């Protein structure tokens, strides 16, 4: 039954990617970024509902009052595909995501990203990629947008941790904007590999904004990592049978 529900959701999610992605790709060039942002956020909200209705996957947020409305850098734990969908629906529409440039090549989904002021980077470019994040990220922040970054760079299984990349912290240092840390255990219910989405409640923890003024990038990323990983230790890392 779990597999059937998961496959049903996958089919419906794919249809929403086509419908919303095509809408943005066709109309975004004429109606602008605000229109594209709203359509993308509706896509995230719709998928959150589909996950609940079909897969029995719910969300409990602690610290929702800290979710930024704009002009902030959000750094989140990266465990599965879930957060790349749910955060789009949970946050204010004006978002700019730092992501690998290969995603722009995905039909419909990638087409839409370009109209939502994403910040695509070549992860092999090293310093040039960081400079690009700082330049484009600061421009987005100054325009009142939320810059979303996964500091681990790739999905990490529950109970594991990776080194936090410093690019987002350099953006915080150079721009002076605060960082909002987010921890969650989505990987317990939505594995980074595999089709099944297990029913349950994903626990999301949103921390108070971490000021960046007067701190260097190393200090900022250390604070972000300490908060996120500290919260991760408090969250269930296995399915409860």
**pLDDT at residue 107, as a whole number:** 87
Question: Does residue 158 belong to any structural domain of this protein?
Answer: yes
pLDDT (tens digit per residue) in 137-173: 999 999 999 999 999 988 999 988 899 999 999 999 9
**pLDDT at residue 65, as a whole number:** 97
Question: Does residue 240 belong to any structural domain of this protein?
Answer: no
**pLDDT at residue 103, as a whole number:** 87
In the sheet with 72-76, reading across from the earlier edge strand, the strands are: 57-62, 200-206, 179-184, 72-76, 146-149, 95-100, 119-121
Range of the domain at 68: 2-232
Question: Does residue 202 belong to any structural domain of this protein?
Answer: yes
**pLDDT at residue 192, as a whole number:** 85
Secondary structure (3-state) at 147: strand
Question: Does residue 150 belong to any structural domain of this protein?
Answer: yes
Residue 170 vs residues 66, 98, 154, 176, 213: alpha-carbon distances, Å? 22, 13, 19, 10, 12
CB contact set of 139 (below 8 Å; sequence gap of 6+): none
Question: Does residue 79 belong to any structural domain of this protein?
Answer: yes
Locate the DSSP E strands across 88-186: 95-100, 119-121, 146-149, 179-184
**pLDDT at residue 43, as a whole number:** 98
Residue 19 vs residues 29, 168, 182, 186: alpha-carbon distances, Å? 16, 32, 29, 26
**pLDDT at residue 124, as a whole number:** 72
**pLDDT at residue 104, as a whole number:** 85
Low-confidence ranges of the chain (pLDDT < 70): 125, 241
Give the CATH number, domain containing residue 154.
3.40.1130
**pLDDT at residue 241, as a whole number:** 59
Question: Does residue 87 belong to any structural domain of this protein?
Answer: yes
Question: Does residue 34 belong to any structural domain of this protein?
Answer: yes
Number of domains in the chain: 1
**pLDDT at residue 121, as a whole number:** 87
Question: Does residue 224 belong to any structural domain of this protein?
Answer: yes
φ, ψ of residue 70 in degrees (nearest 5): 165, 165
């Amino acid at each position: 039954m779990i597999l059937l529900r998961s496959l049903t959701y996958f089919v419906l999610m794919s249809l929403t990617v086509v419908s919303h992605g095509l809408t943005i790709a066709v109309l975004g060039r004429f109606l602008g970024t605000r229109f594209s942002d709203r359509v993308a956020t509706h896509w995230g909200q719709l998928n959150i509902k589909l996950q609940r209705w079909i897969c029995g996957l719910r969300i409990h947020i602690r610290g929702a009052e800290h979710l930024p409305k704009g002009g902030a850098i959000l750094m989140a734990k990266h465990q599965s595909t879930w957060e790349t969908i749910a955060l789009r629906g949970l946050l204010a529409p004006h978002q700019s995501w730092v992501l690998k440039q290969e995603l722009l090549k995905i039909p419909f989904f990638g087409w839409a990203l370009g109209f939502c002021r994403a910040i695509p980077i070549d992860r092999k470019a090293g310093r040039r990629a960081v400079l690009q994040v700082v330049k484009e990220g600061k421009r987005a922040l100054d325009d009142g947008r939320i810059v979303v970054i996964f500091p681990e760079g790739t999905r990490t299984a529950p109970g594991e941790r990776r080194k936090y990349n410093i690019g987002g912290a350099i953006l915080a240092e150079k721009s002076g904007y605060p960082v909002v840390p987010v921890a969650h255990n989505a990987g317990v219910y939505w594995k980074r590999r595999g089709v099944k989405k297990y029913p349950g409640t994903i626990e999301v923890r949103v921390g108070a904004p971490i000021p960046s003024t007067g701190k260097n990038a190393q200090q900022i990323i250390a604070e972000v990592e300490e908060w996120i990983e500290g919260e991760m230790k408090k969250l269930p890392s296995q399915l409860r049978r």
